[in-house]
Amino acid sequence: MAKALLSSWSCKPHSEPSTLYLHLRTESYVMPRSSHLRFISIAGDYGQALLAPNLLDEIVPLLECPSCQVVGHNLLFDLGVVRKAFGRRLELPNLWDTMLASQLLCNGLSPQESSLQSICRDLLGWHFDESPKLSDKGSEPSAREMDYAARACAILERIQAKQKSLLKMQALEKVAKIEFKALPALVEIEYNGIGFNEDKGRRLLESLVKEKDHLEKKLQQYAKSKRMDGFNPRNPAQVKKLLRSHGYNLESTSAADLERILLKNPAEPFINSLLKYRELRQQIGFLKNWTDFAGDDRIYPKLTQIGGRSGRITCSRPNIQQVPRQARLKSLFVASQGMTFVEADFSAIEMRIIAVLSGDKAMQMIFKKGLDPHKQTAQAIFQKTKISDEERQIAKTLNYGTIYGGGVNMIHSNLPNLTGEEAREFLYRFYAAYPGLKSWQQMVSDGAQVVEIDRETYKISRSALGRIRYVDPQHRNALINTPVQATGADLQKTALGRLYEKIALPEYSDFRLINAVHDSILLEVPDKRKKEASRLLQNIMEEAGNEILKVIPCLTDVKVGKDWSFDEDGSRSGLCGLFSRMISRMLRLS
């Protein structure tokens, strides 16, 4: 049993390949920024030792050495603690995270666990004790704590050896490398946080609450005039009852169903007020969440590197990946004084990916010629060359709905002005325009490899680079949309890894990596370097995209501004609002 911490230790990195197994013991495991380092446990080619916190500087050269592979479990947390304690961005060229490797190997399996204890049980067949409770805050580490940390560090060697073999067997080595290289970028996003105007946010919250309360009274008065006392606009059953008294026999009171009524009766007062009320409640919810987590005009989110089944990064405490488009909300997220936001978005990336995966020549030609894919689809389904904005929006809904597996029912329900026959005709024309898409969808759903694991049957879905998701055979849409979204995750993480390698250099020490939202990356840079940052970000993202897409170009759109709205009006109304929400729902399938 380990009994003492070393108060002095020094070891220079080897020139030949070596391995450092790392485990940090902290007083909190919620967020690295709020965690206090108690001691460091190491093992591997540099010996096994428990080090006092003041020796952190001694291991940093090993973390930054290209020939030394640093192996840990949940390195996003441990390296976040190191980042906070050391005070500068580190070059982290050679990482291996046993938690990420486990998540790659087991993605989609039920139940999916990635704790050190569950990995020891499932991978090695060993029982490994739960982490002991911490000693009192500020006290010396207990013998049990030190013993656990030493064993947790030593066991990583056996786990890594097994994972290496399995990753190679499942052709996941390339995707694992992408994940490990992207990891430092997520450390940086959590560490930097994002600027947030707390005062403006709280004033807006107060204003919206008053507006919401006024609108709620207005809705209740309206219901009372229709002989409905005690009306609650948050109660779907009561809303449905009131609407039926108007002759609207709806199956649900969802925004999509209500907006279908507005397509025919745009001035319907009750429905317009109800939708506005719901929008206010949603915005108030966001504002309360943001202001609760904000401190010193900054928000520090918690990221999960493989948070979605598609491999996408997810965000919580709070979620700043799903910020509504309204300028009055996005403008609350601000760059620091003397700094500017630079954001690059992959252009139409889901459609570019599906064009490559399906091999459809017509869709690929659209991107090779630099044409608008939604306009081209509109021309195919409406069979004319001059296309209106509304027709383009219809085609956009059709594009995203069908590439993610939607059929006639999807078209008919999302485009209520169409008859069933018209919906079938539109779908026929769509697949006639892109014949390769239909055959590809059949191949990845009906023709997907079937496996049985722990008496459960799955079909295997893969990204362009081989990322695996085990899918319930009944979930056809997941089999179709996973390759697209998972390839998008591969692409974004490839770009993040390369971007971090660049900004880890001393000449970019004043660049801050702020956020990554599915198809975009956000930087905060000095005002005088915004053009340089725009070129850097665009080049890195497009280079990564071109390597994966290969046969069609990857393009990005770059925005520059003092706040996250970039002075754009993100509001949506009427038909555009309906289509915007439909597309958002489709893109959240995974």
Q: State phi, psi for 422 to the nearest 5 degrees.
A: -65, -40
What lies within 8 Å, CB to CB, of 310 at 6+ separation is 469, 481, 482, 485, 486, 488, 489, 590
Long-range contacts from 582-589, C-beta under 8 angstroms, 24+ separation: 582/256, 582/397, 582/401, 582/414, 583/396, 583/397, 583/400, 586/400, 586/401, 586/404, 586/406, 587/350, 587/400, 587/404, 587/485, 587/518, 589/404, 589/477, 589/478, 589/481, 589/485
Residue 405's nearest CA partner among 475, 487, 477 is: 477
Omega before 318 within 30 of 0, i.e. cis = yes
Measured in whole angstroms, the distance separating CA 27 from the mean position of its chain's CA atoms is: 28
Tokens representing 429 are 């024309």
What's the longest Cα–Cα distance across the chain?
83
CB 556 within 8 Å of CB 542: yes
69: CB partners within 8 A, 6+ apart: 17, 18, 19, 20, 94, 95, 96
Domains delineated in the chain = 18-170 (3.30.420.10), 198-293 (1.20.1060), 304-349+486-561 (3.30.70.370), 351-479 (1.10.150.20)
The model's pTM: 0.93
How many angstroms separate the CA atoms of 195 and 191, rounded?
12
Secondary structure of residue 500 in the 3-state scheme: helix
Q: Please list the pLDDT of the chain residue by residue as tens digits (590 residues).
A: 455 788 888 888 988 999 999 999 998 777 999 899 999 999 999 999 999 999 999 999 999 999 999 999 999 999 999 999 998 999 999 999 999 999 999 999 987 789 999 999 999 999 999 888 876 777 889 999 999 999 999 999 999 999 999 999 999 999 999 999 999 999 999 999 999 999 999 999 999 999 999 999 999 999 999 889 999 999 999 999 999 888 888 888 988 788 878 878 888 999 999 999 999 999 999 999 999 999 999 999 999 999 999 999 999 999 999 999 999 999 999 999 999 999 999 999 999 999 999 999 999 999 999 999 999 999 999 999 999 998 998 899 889 888 778 888 777 767 767 777 888 898 999 999 999 999 999 999 999 999 999 999 999 999 999 999 999 999 999 999 999 999 999 999 999 999 999 999 999 999 999 999 989 999 999 999 999 999 999 999 999 999 999 999 999 999 999 999 998 654 443 444 444 444 444 434 34
**Distance from C-alpha of 487 to C-alpha of 563, rounded to nearest angstrom:** 30
Distance CA 39, CA 98 (A): 21
Cβ atoms of 352 and 399 within 8 Å: the answer is no
Rounded CA-CA distance 70/87 in Å is 20
Q: How far apart are CA 2 and CA 49, in angstroms?
A: 9
Nearby residues of 215 by Cβ (< 8 Å), 6 or more positions away = 273, 276, 277, 280
pLDDT at 590: 42
| Axis-axis angle for helices 349-358, 476-503 (nearest 10) | 120
Q: Which run of H or E residues covers position 314?
A: strand 314-316
Amino acid letter, residue 424: R
Query: How many whole angstroms separate alpha carbon 107 and alpha carbon 92?
Result: 26
Distances (CA, A) of 546 to 246, 491, 497, 520, 538: 55, 10, 16, 16, 12
Q: Which amino acid is at 82?
A: V
Residue 400 CB partners (closer than 8 Å, separation 6+): 350, 583, 586, 587
